[in-house]
Structure 1
Amino acid sequence: MGCSPWTRRPGTPTRSRSPKYAGVPRRAPIRLHPREPSLITHSSGTTGIPKLAVHCAHTMWNRLVPQQALGRATRGESAALHMSFVHSRFYHLLGVLLHFGSPLLLLLDPDPAHAGPLLAKYRPGIVETHPNTFVLWEDLAEAPGMPLANVRAYGSTFDAIHPRTVQRLLGASRRRDPRLVQLYGQSETGPIAFGWYTRRGADRVQGRRVGTGIPGFTRIRVVDERGRTCPPGKPGAIEARTRGRILTYLGAADQYAQQVDRGWWRMGDMGYRDRWGALYLLDREVDQHATVDSNLEVEDELLSRVAELREVIIVHGPSLEPVPVVCTRGDEPLDAGRWRLATSDLPPLAEPVQCRFEDLPRTSTWKIKRLEISRLLAEGELPTLSTARAHG
């Protein structure tokens, strides 16, 4: 933590030119057009090989401005970050924090045993990481030194966050009115929806609600298989129109073009909107099961009902049956009786497959690669602590 290396303290002399370059004429900076490529980052790669996203100054500015508006309430607070340094979110967040002069703590190892003492020592007012890392950091809520006691705002992007995690994180803060801000979007679009949770409303968190569009910057619609806008409450494919959309994929322009329909970007997610315009996320299109309305909703319920679960992912089994892949804290055996009770009123599921969380294939943003798990499960190559029956 400390001052940014790009900020010169008042009274500090400017650095003189090296004698080696004495007499060499200065070269004028190259000014790119706002719509010329200026940054390339990679996507998360949840459904396959990460794609290279090409950004320009115009799209990046249209992502940064609304995020700076959201960050104004916590300006100057110290911030702790753990995320991929080659993902676009990292650079937009830096644009917010450096703009407001926030000292930074960058965490490389998310293990609570390593991150906890650092958070306890520096006591950041802002904490942002991946949703799956926040699940891991639930253990810090009551850890020695109270690592999260000074947090005024949590930032959650990349994926929806579980209600249980929201409740534990907000409960760990001793600030007067802590908040968890959630941004929903993709590498290709930046945030297209936002929302937040407070401690008073933590027990009413709806895990599938990812927020509303950003006025003046993004528009959201849900469409059916024929491209018609769905009425409130009816599920469909989520599409977004945003000023922050990337220019193209590097070396994959055709693949990029397939995602765009008259200015609307296909997010690849299924969801619905309520009558007030709030967006609810159900599943990735490729992850849907015929017998389960929403894998994500079932996973939220299971995490809330079974305290020892660290993670649960519902994937396609060898016969396309929904198989829950579960990870417990400390890799303790899953209580079969508690599991049966927790799933008694849920859609039929196969017997759970228990794994170590560290053995699950993940992206650089800690998203679980569901399709890869399904492949490993079908080929018998998934490292497990227990084995599921084929059809439960």
Structure 2
Amino acid sequence: MGVLFDECADRGSGTRVRLDRPFDIAPAGGVDYGVGELAALVAEVSGWLAAAGARPGDRVAIVKPNHWDYDLIACAAIRLGAVPAQLSAHLPPESLAELLRRLSPAVLVTTAEHARLGAAFAARVITLDTPEPGALHVDRLRGHRPPPPRRPSEHEPLVINHTSGTTGVPKLVVHSTSTIIRKLAGLESVRLPAVGVRRDDTLANASSYAHGRTFCWTASVFCLAPARIVILSGPEPDAADVLLRRFPPTFVEALPATFVRFRPLLSRLDNPFRDVRFYLSTYDAMHPPVIRDYLHASRRRRPLWMQGWGQTETGPITFRFFTRKSLATRRGRHPSTRDLGRAIPIRTRLKVVDPATFEPVPRGQAGLVLARTPARCLGYVGENQRWQEKHDGGWWNTGDIAVHRRDGRVLLLDREVDTSPGLSCLELEDVLEDRLPGVLECVVLAMPGKDPLPVVVTETGRVDPAEWSGAVHDLPALQPPRVLTWDEIPRTGTGKVRRLALLTMLTGCADTPGTGRWT
């Protein structure tokens, strides 16, 4: 990864990268880059890190506003032999402090907002925006000659990313070149017919760039050399619209929450998604109306949507394709979006066990999902015991409750911590969103000894009582809905709902039906 862009430039890649705003590490560098210019920028940043004291084997933490230069800084750290740790600036201060304590980085790359917090845990702090007492401002490091690139060992730590943290302090996940590059990015680098990246594609990515997904994406997509890559750093539709209309994408990957936020763009006359042939979503559940609307927004004859299910620790486990036809049924009681498809052939195996006994359950019966994959991470920083409890004999405990059907398909029900006997909160969310036009999101919170609590997210903070009654008439008993606006919902850096935080905010109690042992 340290010389990824150098190698792409040597192969003559013509990929151009267009940004919605300049990089935080190069505010005067503009918004248009070729791979050679990216290689030069990575080398320059490697020189900064070396000048600040980073050495081979050291950890370099990164906490900054969301942008793809998270991955460029990570590449720069890897180039000199250090191990980057990418931490979202959206983390609550107490969670960020705990992760920095576990890491004890030699260098922290950040902004003035987090410099003082970081100084308590990092040996040296670099600020990218304004000078801060006790920190090195980036301007003092510019111009330092980068050290020669070092190639990391195949099975040693390469990068550290954290999990989303929907149920508390995130885990720090360690991957190696073997796990995240060879086993994950290598798989994505295959130019598959119909679903693979083409040389004439314009790729749009609107993600949380502190997470492992985009690090893996960076490693794979530049090897495929598409014509253009469009990077969107924020979820605001009006800001994204300008760049998307200028460079209409043919291949789109975004956070589920960002797909929701960009949805108003679909109804504009100059719909920027009109030429998309392929959509890709990971991280979180996608609900039927959102997928349906994007598929119908494309003017292509047969656009596809691929939903991947996996974890930071494992990479993708299953995948499922959706078409306009597969989502034609509306307002049904059992939408198809909880069907996550089959395990990735050859590389991934699944089994479902009883959560209490860990004995395998028959196909078609709900249980705890275990996965076996060569891409499983090396461990957790500072939480070895937690890591040991989640894997057994090569099987990884996903912490998800699902049904493994006889035909091999996986029907996801809930996280174990959120599971409620006799129902699926995720499926109820699918149903409610499909039956309530105009809602942004529905969240169903399981509570021990009580009916589930539905939370409806709208622009106005109101929902029509008659529409609500019509939507829930054939559903299991629910408490009266709580209606909130988007900004009132506590979220992670990937836009996921922090369910425990939301439950506590609404009820004053964080008790859940599940044990939470494997979250």
Q: TM over 0.5, yes or no?
A: yes
1:82 to 2:206 alignment: yes
Distance 1:41 1:8 in 2: 26
Give the C-alpha shift of residue 187 in structure 1: 0.4
Q: Which residue of 2 aligns with 1:43?
A: 163
The equivalent position to 1:124 in structure 2, one of 249, 252, 271, is 249
The equivalent position to 1:304 in structure 2, one of 409, 412, 434, is 434
Q: Which residue of 2 aligns with 1:6?
A: 35
RMSD: 2.4
The equivalent position to 1:368 in structure 2, one of 481, 489, 497, is 497
Q: Which residue of 1 aligns with 2:174?
A: 54
1:358 to 2:487 alignment: yes
Give the C-alpha shift of residue 264 in structure 1: 0.6
In the comparison of the two structures, how many residue pairs are matched? 365
Q: Which residue of 2 aligns with 1:100?
A: 224
2:319–2:341 Cα contact (<8 Å) kept: yes
Distance 2:442 2:146 in 1: 58
2:350–2:370 Cα contact (<8 Å) kept: yes
2:461–2:484 Cα contact (<8 Å) kept: no
Residues 1:211 and 1:4: Cα distance change in structure 2 (over 3 Å): farther
Q: Which residue of 2 aligns with 1:21?
A: none
Write the mapping of 1:165-176 to structure 2, written as runs, cut at 5 A. 165-176=290-301
**TM-score of the two chains, using structure 2 as the length reference:** 0.67
Percent identity over paired residues: 35
Write the mapping of 1:141-220 to structure 2, written as runs, cut at 5 A. 141-203=266-328, 206-220=336-350
Write the mapping of 1:16-27 to structure 2, written as runs, cut at 5 A. none
1:323 to 2:453 alignment: yes
Q: Which residue of 2 aligns with 1:334?
A: 463
Residues 1:70 and 1:366: Cα distance change in structure 2 (over 3 Å): farther
1:234–1:273 Cα contact (<8 Å) kept: yes
Give the C-alpha shift of residue 111 in structure 1: 1.7
Specify the code of the residue in structure 1 equivalent to 2:379. T
Specify the code of the residue in structure 1 equivalent to 2:487. E
Write the mapping of 1:239-318 to structure 2, written as runs, cut at 5 A. 239-290=370-421, 292-316=422-446
Structure 2: unaligned runs, 5 residues or longer: 1-16, 19-31, 39-43, 45-144, 330-334, 511-519
Specify the code of the residue in structure 2 equivalent to 1:6. V
Q: Which residue of 2 aligns with 1:67?
A: 188
1:116–1:143 Cα contact (<8 Å) kept: no
Give the C-alpha shift of residue 67 in structure 1: 2.0
Q: Which residue of 1 aligns with 2:508?
A: 379
Distance 1:370 1:332 in 2: 19
The equivalent position to 1:224 in structure 2, one of 354, 377, 393, is 354
SS of the aligned residue for 1:276 comes to coil
Cα deviation digits, residues 326-359 of structure 1 (max 9, x gap):
112x215200011011101000000000111111
Distance 1:218 1:35 in 2: 20
**TM-score of the two chains, using structure 1 as the length reference:** 0.87
The equivalent position to 2:259 in structure 1, one of 130, 134, 139, is 134
1:53–1:250 Cα contact (<8 Å) kept: yes
2:276–2:303 Cα contact (<8 Å) kept: yes
Residues 1:335 and 1:380: Cα distance change in structure 2 (over 3 Å): farther
Residues 1:374 and 1:241: Cα distance change in structure 2 (over 3 Å): same
1:42–1:53 Cα contact (<8 Å) kept: yes
Cα deviation digits, residues 115-171 of structure 1 (max 9, x gap):
223212210111111112212222222223111101111110012211111111100
SS of the aligned residue for 1:66 comes to helix
Cα deviation digits, residues 296-328 of structure 1 (max 9, x gap):
111101111110211111114596431101112
Distance 2:146 2:448 in 1: 65
The equivalent position to 1:236 in structure 2, one of 353, 359, 367, is 367
Specify the code of the residue in structure 2 equivalent to 1:309. V
Specify the code of the residue in structure 1 equivalent to 2:471. A
Structure 1: unaligned runs, 5 residues or longer: 10-14, 16-24, 382-392
